[in-house]
Structure 1
C-alpha cells in the first residue's frame, strides 16, 4: 500500500432539518461512508444513544451510529463528548486497519461546551499510526487553548518517530490554527481551497486533516445535491503518503 486515504466528516448526528421538515439521514450516510473507500473515517457529532430520536424516527438505528456506519470489515471506535437528558454524542473512528488501542482526552475549556479528543492507535502494514479525532470550540481563544492541550497530549502519548493524523472539525473560520499546529509539526493542505461549510454553499474550510510523519498528496471535497442534504458539513477526503 503506497498511500493512506483518510476522510473526515461532521455528520450532524444523522439528522437534518427542523420541526416538521426534520428528516433522518443516517441511512444515506451509510452509503456515503462506503463511497469514501477510505482506510480511516473520522467522524464528529456521532450519536451513541438518543431516546428522543428513537421515539421520533421509526427507523432509528438500534445501536450507536459509529457501528451502524462502519462498512463490513471495519472496526468502529466511539467515545462520548456530551451527555444530555436524552442521550449522548461524540467522536468516532472507522478503521480498515487493526486497532491496537484507544482512549479519550477531555479538552473542555468552557462550561457551556463539552469537547474531547479521541485517540486511536492503529497497525497499518506493520507500522503504528496514531489518529486523533477532534471537534474544537466555537470560540477562537478556546480553540487556541485546545490546540495547546493537543500539543501536550501528543508530546506525552505519541512517539516522535510514529506517524500521526489529527482530523476533524476545527471550527477555525479564519484559519488561525495553521501556525500553532505547524509548531507542533502538524501540517495540512494550505495551497488549495477546500471549503466544507455550510454544505449548501460551502465557504469555510473547517474540516481538515493534519499530519506528522506522513506526506500530503491530494485532497478533495465531494459536491452535489446528495452531499448537500446529508449534513450541514461536506466531507473532506485526503490521500496521504509514507515518507
Structure 2
C-alpha cells in the first residue's frame, strides 16, 4: 500500500478500515452529532499513520472500531496541510461501528471540505447514515467545493439521487463509467462512491489489476478540477 501511494502522487487519499492490532488504552465514542472526545496521537498507530510517517504526508484520523485486540477507522492523507474538522460516530446499530471523518484542505487557493465515510452493510442502516451525512453537509458545509468519498456498500446506488438533492455529483456516474470496485479480483459491484460539489469530474481512472492485492476493494481514483 505504501509503495502504491508513493507512485500515485494523489492530492488526497480517503482510506477506510485502516487497521491496527494493539490498543494501549480505551477510547470512548459519543453518538452522532458529537465529536469523539479522545486524543488519538498516543493511542492509535495504524496502517495509515505508518504510511503518512514514511512518506511525510499530512493525516486526519477517525476511529470506528476499538477492541482489546484490534481496531480500525477512517483516514485522510494528503501532501497538503489538513485541518481536522471532526470525527463522527454514524453507527446505525451496535453490530456495525461506522464513522464519518471530516477535514479541510486548500488547493489552488480554494478551501475544500473533505469527507471520508464508511457505511453499513444493510440498506436501511445505510439510508439512515446517508441522511445523517446529508444533514451535516447542509448544516455545516452548505457552500463551497466538497468531496465525499469512501466505502458506501451502496450497490443499489441509493446515494446518487440522495446527495444529488444537495447539488453533488457522483464522479463515475457523471462520467458514464461503471465505478465497479468489488470484489477486487473480479469487480462486479460499485460499492465505493465519490461525490463532488464545486469540482468538475475530469476522469475516472481505471485501476490496474495489480492494485487488487491492496484490499478486497479496488481503489476508486478520479481526476477532478476545482471550478
TM class by shorter-chain length?
0.7 to 0.9
Q: Trace 1:15-26 onto structure 2 (pairs within 5 A).
A: none
User: Which residue matches 1:195?
Assistant: 180
- 3-state secondary structure, aligned to 1:97: coil
Shift of 1:101: 3.0
For normalisation by structure 2, the TM-score amounts to 0.84
TM-score (norm 1): 0.79
Whole-angstrom distance in 2 between the partners of 1:30 and 1:73: 11
Match of 1:177 in 2: 159
Cα displacement (A) at 1:194: 2.1
Q: Give the aligned partner of residue 221 of structure 1.
A: 206
Q: Distance in 2 between matches of 1:100 and 1:192?
A: 32
- Give the length in aligned residue pairs: 203
1:230, distance to aligned residue in structure 2 (A): 2.2
In the alignment, what sits opposite 2:4? 32
Q: Does 1:119 align with 2:91?
A: no
- Aligned pairs (5 A) from 1:122-201: 122-160=105-143, 162-188=144-170, 189-190=172-173, 191-201=176-186
CA RMSD of aligned residues (A): 1.7
With a CA cutoff of 8 Å and minimum separation of 6, indicate the structure with the bigger relative contact order.
1
Work out the CA distance in 1 between the residues paired with 2:166 and 2:142: 13
Shift of 1:205: 0.9
Contact 2:6 2:55 in 1 (8 A): no
Partner of 1:239: 223
Unaligned runs of 5+ in 2: 24-43
Q: Check whether the contact 1:221–1:234 (CA below 8 A) recurs between aligned residues.
A: no
- Equivalents in 2 of 1:199, 1:88: separation in Å? 23
Q: In the alignment, does 2:22 pair up with 1:51?
A: yes
TM superposition shift of 1:229: 2.1
- Per the TM alignment, residue 78 of structure 1 is displaced from its structure 2 partner at its CA by 1.2
- Once residues 159 and 177 of structure 1 are traced to their aligned partners in structure 2, the CA distance between those partners, rounded to angstroms, is 18
1:26 maps to none
1-structure distance, mates of 2:94, 2:134? 22
Residue aligning to 1:57: none
* Per-residue deviation, 1:157: 1.6
Partner-residue secondary structure (3-state), 1:94: strand
Structure-2 separation of matches of 1:123 and 1:229? 32
In 2: Cα distance, 1:139 partner to 1:36 partner: 33
